[in-house]
Amino acid sequence: ADVANTSAVDPSSFTCVHMWLGGCGFGSEVNNLISAAIFCDKHGLDCIVEDEGWNSGRLHEYLQAEPLILKKCPRAGRTCQMLEIKRDKRVATKGWFTVRKHAKDISFKEKAQYARKIWRYTADVARSIKELNSE
């Protein structure tokens, strides 16, 4: 049986989703993060990116994604009831499969609209892009 299709997690049991970015490509990781953020919006959860080990650096070095995707958990050390979303090689958390199942029902249009909300470059990135485009 496909675990993604049978994964059952009650979102109301959690206060937030912690999404770990890792060793996959930039586009794949950001695509999955957007799916997680849409899941969070739908269920009234905070979406926190855990990107310390990401092979592309830190998300907020590129994008001004807050308040939709947070740098750190607002409940850390207190009332955080996190749904972990991690995958590494052949191992993934139940949260990973829950968001993957949810993502199957997200239209490309909806995902693109959400991506536009978070795709606001930081000042450094905007400056770098402008310099590259002027060459």
pLDDT confidence tier of residue 2, bands split at 50, 70 and 90: low
pLDDT confidence tier of residue 1, bands split at 50, 70 and 90: very low
Average pLDDT of the residues in 112-133? 95
Radius of gyration of the chain from its Cα atoms, rounded to whole angstroms? 15
**Residue 92 phi, psi dihedral angles, 5° rounding:** -145, 150
Query: How many Å apart are CA 50 and CA 73, to the nearest integer?
Result: 10
Share of the chain above pLDDT 90, in %: 70
Residue 47: beta bridge partners? Answer: 17
DSSP letters for 75-88: TTTTT--EEEE-EE
Structure tokens at 27: 């586009």
Helix, strand, coil percentages for the chain (3-state, nearest 5): 45, 15, 40
Share of the chain above pLDDT 70, in %: 95
What's the confidence (pLDDT) of residue 66?
95
Residue 18: beta bridge partners? Answer: 48, 84
14: buried, middle or exposed (CB in 10 Å: 19+, 13-18, 0-12)?
A: buried
Q: What is the pLDDT of residues 18-38, one digit of tens each?
A: 999 988 888 889 999 999 999
